[in-house]
Amino acid sequence: MIEHKMMWAGYCLQKEANSIKGGGNREIRFHALFVLLEHPQYGHILFDTGYGSYFYEATEVFPYSVYARVTPVFINEEDTAKSQLLKLGIKPEDVSYIIISHFHADHIGGLRDFPEAKFVCLESAYQAINKRTGIMALREGFLPKLLPDDFSDRVMFLREKTFSDEFCPFTYYYDVFGDKSILAFALSGHASGQIGILSGKRFFVADACYHSDAYRKMLPPPLMVRMLLGSNREYLRMLSILHAFYQKHPDIEIIPSHCNEVVRKYA
């Protein structure tokens, strides 16, 4: 089993009611998770990066400025993944791979800080944002300036599916390094081609749900939010799959990227 460590880089403010059925009117923090995984052969690997300091630059001009206005974001240089890793003695160029759940700004905000990393994602996630600019990018929650210029040279797509009922109701997974240390699962719905990763007894599900209560009690965000961000039908289908997974695999901990219960437990 490989070691992993959860950390958070920045946060945004949103009404709780926008993120879960029955949520209150108060504003809550959505901390942006990234995970450091230590692979015996491939070294330091990240799952997402959280926000990065490029966010402000990327949202300076219209229409990208709309993103910053609708979603107030707070990120200091010292809170970025790069700075937090440096404090652990890990240099940016020593990060070998970054597994990208999806291309929203709170998941890819730090990509440009890691010049040697190869990027791993589903091709459908990349195609949904590739070459999109302006309103078309914004519709996908994507800020083009966050992507390194040489992204297309460094990306590797997950292609080979392993069909198995070991993690039912999922019917297949992607064995990222071919050694079963990190398994990726397709979690579409919130964003095209979103993936989560299972490592050891933790299943990082990105934004397939926002709160732990969402997969435990089947509490989706409101229809408006589901429609705005992805496919409503897919979102609900994926949430019911996660709910069934939770019931069938009580030994595996499901970790949504922005759940405050998880932050309180592990931060």
| Contact of 137 with 143, CB cutoff 8 Å | yes
Q: Which range touches Zn ion (CB under 5 A), out of 3-11, 199-207, 211-219, 259-267? A: 199-207
What residues are paired with 173 via a beta bridge?
162
CB of 165 to Zn ion, least distance (A): 29
For residue 63, give the 3-state DSSP assignment: coil
What residues are paired with 162 via a beta bridge?
173
Q: Which range touches Zn ion (CB under 5 A), out of 49-57, 172-180, 203-211, 235-243? A: 203-211
Q: Which is nearer to Zn ion, 54 or 103 (CB)?
A: 103
Q: Report which residue's Cβ sits closest to Zn ion.
A: 104
Q: Per rule CB under 5 A, is residue 207 in the interface with Zn ion?
A: yes
Please, is 159 exposed, middle or buried when counting C-beta atoms within 10 Å of its C-beta (0-12, 13-18, 19+)? Answer: exposed
CB of 230 to Zn ion, least distance (A): 9
Q: Which range touches Zn ion (CB under 5 A), out of 11-19, 157-165, 175-183, 204-212? A: 204-212
In the list 104, 211, 226, 243, the residue contacting Zn ion (rule: CB under 5 A) is 104
For residue 225 the two structure tokens come to: 């939010």
Q: Per rule CB under 5 A, is residue 211 in the interface with Zn ion?
A: no
What's the CA gap between 127 and 102, in Å, rounded?
11
Q: Which is nearer to Zn ion, 12 or 182 (CB)?
A: 12
What's the CA gap between 69 and 197, in Å, rounded?
31
CB of 96 to Zn ion, least distance (A): 24
Q: Which is nearer to Zn ion, 140 or 207 (CB)?
A: 207
Q: Which range touches Zn ion (CB under 5 A), out of 40-48, 84-92, 126-134, 200-208? A: 200-208
Q: Which range touches Zn ion (CB under 5 A), out of 52-60, 97-105, 117-125, 196-204? A: 97-105
Q: H-helix or E-strand containing 98?
A: strand 95-99
Please, is 222 exposed, middle or buried when counting C-beta atoms within 10 Å of its C-beta (0-12, 13-18, 19+)? Answer: middle
Q: Which is nearer to Zn ion, 79 or 207 (CB)?
A: 207
SS (HEC) of 146-209: HCCCCHHHHEEECCCEEECCCCCCCCEEEECCCCCCCEEEECCCCCCCCEEEEECCEEEEECCC
Q: Which is nearer to Zn ion, 104 or 112 (CB)?
A: 104
Q: Per rule CB under 5 A, is residue 113 in the interface with Zn ion?
A: no
Interface contacts to Zn ion, rule CB under 5 A = 104, 207
